[in-house]
Structure 1
């Protein structure tokens, strides 16, 4: 199904998030973590396009991919790689660089979409959005387009957070950089590189981190003064499978030099997103690179900077196994247990002290984790955890 959307931005109140289903989490095997529970399910069809937009996907060729034949007459709405919760039940979601590389994403325009899950209908509405631009020439290297609309060949945004002033901070993988955009999507200052770390796409050369392994998760501190920016890949010379969590001071617009280390369960795994629970703790998505029946590890961990066991790494406790969510009511028509078996799961946010939302990046049209040979939809789920997070109240009320 090809789905087009109204271009205007309309706000609405979504009440389903405030009234999730209340099935009690099922018990896990003795000694293991308690099972979290699926409480809501909604999805945006894979073939959803922005009406009246520009053609896209020319560099993908003309052979079908999961039954979808590029190029596309309009911009696809896909690749949700970062999420911000709004006060009215809507969310702001960013698309990443487009089709996976600089080389194939020059005609994909980077954008913030305003989305609204309707859990009563198991659907997601796209209400509008804004395209990212650099009208004042802050990006120091040449852009793909002379009008300075930013494309996936210029930067690769993978994470987002929003300050108290309503402006957006985004984490990029090509630098890696932190970028600051105003509420209209205009870049406000030059991209801030992470000192001592360079990706292969960085014009400075001498890379010491893998491609597409930059800032995969960024999150604002509860006091709004700092950002924690988590790399997806290990910096050369660091212990394999350790990822640097970097502190950024908003007032000085600079990294402080303070870092922590997050340990992956395997060096072959990756993180998908991070969100602050309080000044010391974060929720972090960790995943393998498989999909469908081959997926083994898709988890949400509660990580703690205080390192109580003094091993030099964040302490971590699994709070949700995304391949084993209790679903006794068969929400969305899915089986019990419910599985979220996608290659890239790149969005987590806190709804209340015991409920989180998780979204996949569907890599349109390439990923097919739900049904082999069919492009994945963008799925939006909410999960009731087995225990309260005891989150900072400022996180729970932040909009």
Structure 2
């Protein structure tokens, strides 16, 4: 084998509910593709996001819900057709060329109530309005979460990243949320949450762009450091800076103190290099995202960077770009990293990256890949985000066999 090979793995989506709507049936299936992680015991875990949701225009066009059209003017508004289906973890088994679900753990509060996918009542950053099928606005939920990334600790508990806050959830092996880490100064907005809130994350995290919070998580081999990346450049000091910026902030968090100890800059590829996306239409710089991290070895990470159709996997060595001066974690520092990044005048350390794989070389591989995990030094598992089947997309797993060992130290 002189080049990577991609093998589709068989998988059958679990149907959770079918709704009869004016434009046709909406079949909701289990969501799995927002993130993958592997435990020390070899177990493989997948996480879905907030639950089934549709953009307003899709709800009108595909499902005939014309009475919802007025909500399309609200930035980020989502239709949530089945609130009973919320954030959940699923343990997977791989046998030969087939993937199956061994068990699913809905995330729950300490009282045993299922966690909702409704947005919390944020006051500083933008919030995505949630709309019911009948057109009514759904009340925010201080315990709600849009789960997007997962890492498994040595004791079987989980770290889960989410986009609304953004925030981090500490979750017990049985799916119970033990605590939520939010940006400094934001704890009051979660005052009525059904679990403890700790504002131990840098206040800067609250500058995330709408729906672009924490999507990529990975634990160091010893469990002492949690690496987390924002999905996109921050909107700091404003959305215009987000749209122009070319670098994503990557943080290292001490799992014992729950404090960020280092910040790095990951450079995004130019839009023109995402060939499949460019062939389908213009790809804006702000459409490029970091969706997954995997630890390769000490200070070595594998990063999943994507448009929609094109996904690239890059190895990065944290030693190749020194951690930034702590002042760049201060929201008052000017000019901001995002402002400097957008002008090309960024005179700061930037991570070097080595391309491992591009799906432009494998047109058969699906769009919207968000989950990635190492099966062995030469083997990866990838999965797409099927959005709970709301657009008729099936979950698809791909095994990637490499002709070389991934770098490790």
Sort the TM-score into its range (normalised by shorter chain). 0.5 to 0.7
Equivalent in the alignment of 1:318: 355
Question: Does the 8 A contact of 2:26 with 2:390 survive in 1?
Answer: no
Q: How does the TM-score come out when normalised to structure 2?
A: 0.66
* From 384, 394, 399, the counterpart of 2:401: 384
Worse-matched range after superposition: 312-321 or 172-181: 312-321
1:171 alignment partner, SS class: strand
For each residue in 1:315-355, what CA deviation from the matched residue of structure 2 results, as whole angstroms up to 9, or x when unmatched?
11110112324xxxxxxxxxxxx52131x211111122121
Question: Does the 8 A contact of 2:227 with 2:252 survive in 1?
Answer: yes
Equivalent in the alignment of 1:70: 26
Offset, 1:130: 1.2
For each residue in 1:208-234, what CA deviation from the matched residue of structure 2 results, as whole angstroms up to 9, or x when unmatched?
322220111010012210101111021
Structure 1 residue 81 corresponds to structure 2 residue 81: no
Gaps of 5+ in 1: 1-23, 27-35, 137-146, 290-294, 326-337, 368-374, 393-399
Offset, 1:194: 3.8
For each residue in 1:290-331, what CA deviation from the matched residue of structure 2 results, as whole angstroms up to 9, or x when unmatched?
xxxxx3x31111122223699522111110112324xxxxxx
Question: Does the 8 A contact of 1:107 with 1:152 survive in 2?
Answer: no
CA–CA distance in 1 between the matches of 2:302 and 2:215? 13
Q: In structure 2, do the counterparts of structure 1 residues 87 and 274 end up closer, same or farther at CA, with 3 Å as the change threshold? A: closer
Gaps of 5+ in 2: 54-76, 119-143, 193-198, 271-284, 323-346
1:364 alignment partner, SS class: helix
Q: How does the TM-score come out when normalised to structure 1?
A: 0.68
2:26 alignment partner, SS class: coil
2:387 alignment partner, SS class: coil
Summarize the alignment of residues 81-120 of structure 1 with structure 2, pairs less than 5 Å apart: 81-86=34-39, 90-100=43-53, 103-104=79-80, 106-120=83-97
2:292 alignment partner, SS class: strand
For each residue in 1:121-169, what CA deviation from the matched residue of structure 2 results, as whole angstroms up to 9, or x when unmatched?
xx32222221111125xxxxxxxxxx63102211011000011111111
Offset, 1:25: 2.7
Equivalent in the alignment of 2:103: 128
Question: Does the 8 A contact of 1:298 with 1:341 survive in 2?
Answer: no
Equivalent in the alignment of 2:305: 286
* From 144, 152, 165, the counterpart of 1:175: 165
Question: Does the 8 A contact of 1:56 with 1:107 survive in 2?
Answer: no
CA–CA distance in 2 between the matches of 1:213 and 1:201? 19
- Indicate the structure with greater helix content: 2
Structure 1 residue 231 corresponds to structure 2 residue 260: no
Segments ≥4 residues shifted beyond 4 Å: 55-58, 86-90, 100-103, 195-198, 200-207, 308-311
* From 280, 290, 299, the counterpart of 2:312: 299
* From 192, 198, 205, the counterpart of 2:181: 192
Q: RMSD across aligned C-alpha pairs, in angstroms?
A: 3.2
Equivalent in the alignment of 1:20: none
Equivalent in the alignment of 1:245: 250
Aligned length: 304
For each residue in 1:22-64, what CA deviation from the matched residue of structure 2 results, as whole angstroms up to 9, or x when unmatched?
xx034xxxxxxxxx222x3213234x225xxxx5879xx5434
